[in-house]
Structures are given as C-alpha cells and as structure tokens.
Structure 1
Amino acid sequence: MYFDDNTVIYLDGKFVKANEASTDLYSQTLHYGYGVFEGIRAYATKDGTQVFKSLAHYERLKKSAELIQIPFDYSPHKLVEVTESLLKKNDLTDAYVRPLVFCDPNMTLARPNNVSIMICAWEWGAYLGDKQLRLTVSSFCRPHPRSIKIEAKVCGHYVNSILATNEAKDKGFDEALLLDSDGYLAEGPGANLFFEKDGVLFTPQLGNILPGITRATVLELAEELGIEVQQGLFEPKELFAADSAFYCGTAAEVIGIASVDETKFPKAWKDSLGKKLQDAYSKRVRESSTPATIFSTKL
C-alpha cells in the first residue's frame, strides 16, 4: 500500500530503496514512542507540483523535537529541498509526505545521543474520505498539557488517537471527538474542530490541542472571506446546538461533520461556512502561489 520495489525513501542523508532500508529493533522510538513526525501534502497544480506549506511543517518538526529534547540538526530549508527531490525520484504529484525523526538504540528513559531522519511519500486520498462524518464523543480525553507537550507532534501521543478512533468505529461511528481533561471541546484524533452558529465560526483555543497547520490556514482563509471566528473554551452542549461543523487537518483536509452522537446539524453542508472554506482550501492548496514552491516531478 505504501511502497513497492521501486519506491525510494530518504534516510540519514541518502536516498535508498524502501525495501532495502532497515532500522534497529532497539530504537528508543520503537520501544517508547519517543520520536516526532509530520504529515505534509503535495498537490498537482497547472504549473507543476506544490508541496503545501512544507517549510512550516519542517519548522514545526524541529520545534516538536526541541520541545521533547530530541536533538535536531537538520535544516528545515534543506528538508524542503530533499522532499522535492524525493517526489521527483518517485514520480509523485498528488502525494502524502511523512518525515519521521527517530532515536538510536536506548533502553533507558534518558534523552538520546543520536537520532535519524526518514522521509517517505505515497499516493493517499483524503484520510477521512469525502463524505460527512458521524462522530461520537470519546470516553478518552486529550492528555493534560502539564503531562505532555501537547503542541508537539510526538509519535507516542497518537496511542490516545488510536484508542479513540477504534472505540468510535467499534460503536459504528466514522470517527471520534475528544474533550480535554476539563471536559471542554478539544479536537479529533487527527484533526482540528470548527463549528458554526448564527454565521460565526468557533474553534477550541490553543493550549489543549495540536496547533494544526491546516487549522491556521483555515483561519487565514476565514479572515480573507470576512468570516468571524471566535477561539475559546467551549462545552459539548455548544457543539450540539451548532448549525454545522467540520474537521480539518493535513491528511483529512476539510471534511464536513453530519452529526455527533446521532444529533444531526440542521444546516445543509452545501450552505455552510465549512463548505465555503472547504472550497477555498481546495483552491488554495492547488494554486500556483509562488514560483519557488512549484516544480516538475519529471526527472
């Protein structure tokens, strides 16, 4: 699904065949989830391939590593260039890019001495599909921000996401919605939440959620479109009384939410602010913004 005999990945400064690459089974990341990663999208445009906000993603990767005290000696600008080369070598235009910083063998709980970086890419559609989602409020909450670095995209944090998603799917729903440790709305297992009420958009404030790059893009687009957005602490009852809602994330892009725990939102998706932002987002990621971000994948 993710690679074949011809797939090339980037590993510690070299491009190698995916099926020939190896790692150490004693890696601290494998045993303890002590690593950081990113999810980046590349889109085909009329002028070539655009990797959307790749520098912002690599800067966040660096910040995530610093927050949890993992050494990071890689230049975000250099990694942007590596990503473009990787896509060319695999002849990919519309693709999902996954950089991973992982630690060397270490069975202690101390910081690592050395780390590795891997970047791979594959064709991948919208992670949550293209139909409106049926959500359920999860029995799992997001970790308290004093227990982890909530703003870092850390491998081990996603056990919480997997548990919530599996619980939701086992109950017959498409995806979960998590609250924070105080019972306020937080986010999805891999996406940020927005909801609409009386022509205004609302979204949970930073502090208990991952500061999504797609979330930031939606905020930019809302400002350009003259849509009022309020960020704050919101109770689940405010979502249940909303007119519409949506999730957003690099993998999910912008996807409408049909219901939460069988409570359906009254506004038709086609008439919602979410749909307007979905269209604007789709246009933004596929437009030729600056020549420096556009390149041909043909070698």
Structure 2
Amino acid sequence: MNRSTLGSALRELRKSSGLEAKAVARGAAMSSSKLSKIENGNTAPSVTDVDCILTAIGVSNEAKAEFMAVAREAATEVTAWRLVRRLGYSRKQQQVQALEAQTALLRLFQPALIPGLLQTPEYVRAVFTRESLGEVELERTIGARLARQRVLYSREKTFRFVITESVLRWRVLPPLMMASQLDRLISASRLPGVDIRVVALATQQTDFPSHSFCITDDRIVAIETAHAEIMVTDPKDVALYAHKFERFSESALSGDAMRSLVETIRDDFLREQETG
C-alpha cells in the first residue's frame, strides 16, 4: 500500500467492516461525496481525513498505525483557507471536533487570539463575522465551535494552552464582553484536565511567537498562517514544535499567578466599561 492506493485500501477496509459509506462519512465528519472521491482515488485524503475515517470504521491500533504511516508519507500538507471557506467553516469545525475526540494530549500555542476551545459565544461570533459568512453558515459555524468545547470536560484528556498576554488585551470585543471572555479563561483553568498559561509581556523571552500552532498528541501539528492551514506530520518537525511549546510553557505564568494577571486585565476592561 502507498499513497496512490490508499483510497482503495480504505474502501476495502470499510467494506470488510460491514459499514455503509454514509455511516463512515458521518462518523468522520465529512460528506458522503468526499468519502466516495477518497475511496475512488479522485481526491487525495489528508492525514486528518485518514485519521477520522479509520476511527469511524473502528480499526485496531495496529491497522491504524499502518494506514497512518502511509498517510504521513507527504510530511507537510497545505490547505488554503479559501478552500476551507468553499467547503464550509462549520464542516471544518466538525472535522476538528472528530480529531479532538481521538486525542489524549492537545498542546496549543496562540499569540493572536483566544483559543477556540476557550472562546465565549460572543468571541466566536466576532471571529467568524470577520470572514463575511452568510447568516446560516455563520450560525452553523458558531454552533459547531461551541459544541467542540464539551471535550474540555473529559477526564480522559489533557489540554495545555499557552497564550501571550497580548491576546488577553487584543480588543476583539467591547470592554464588558472582553471581561466576560477573561472570566471564561479563569473558570476553564480550574478544570481537572486543563492547563492554561500566559506568557507575560514583562517576561524576558528566548523565543519568538511567530504564529499559532496546535500539537495533537505527538502525531500532527496544525499551523495557521494568513493564507492557509499547514499540517505537519514528520516526527522530527513535530518534535521541533513540541520543543518550542515547552520553551514558552516554561517561561509562562500558571496557576494562581496566571489567574491574577488575567484578573488584573479583566478589571481594567471593567473600569473602562464603567467610565466609558
């Protein structure tokens, strides 16, 4: 099996499982037509696509490892945001949710926005309103992102977030709504499997926050740039990002010190609201 025969191998695997294509597509958070194109070799599946399809089929860890090794032969994949927009941001959120459901450890570094799993409904709306989506797609996308957040309450998963202080001060919303968003961070930081750290502006730094990235276990790194999402699967590159994450994590505030900083910034927003 190689990447050129991956689609047909996935089709045979699904058929041998006895599952209908519609059921697998639904479990993999993709359309039946996309699954059909993958199985027939008309569309090259991404690493995420293969991961979600295999999980929907319910294969053994050994079989999954074999298929994923083939999927990762192309160590870097680039998907332009215009393509994501054409397919639908709500579907993208559902696909991310399917991937998060399979993840034991998620590490996310964010120097630009509050991470999606920690956003309030108002913050989510502000983020996607800037994409000029139609009203129906906007509501679907907001709902899909908020649905993802239920995973934070799983006792079988660990979430580690490192964000920069500038993210807390970036005025995505009016002052009162920003204060509510920071309250959401504080409450989420107390969940058993959630570790939120903030890199303070006053801290001497040894690295540079060039862009956000998310590490799924030690398998995939998703990098967001202005024009595209980049998926990295080469183990050496994944290790590079894991090292970068740890460097920021070590220099960041955590626990009560982190919450104290967030509360200070929140109170600044509240005072601005009162005097505005």
TM-score (norm 2): 0.27
- Decide which structure has greater strand share: 1
TM-score (norm 1): 0.26
- Decide which structure has greater helix share: 2
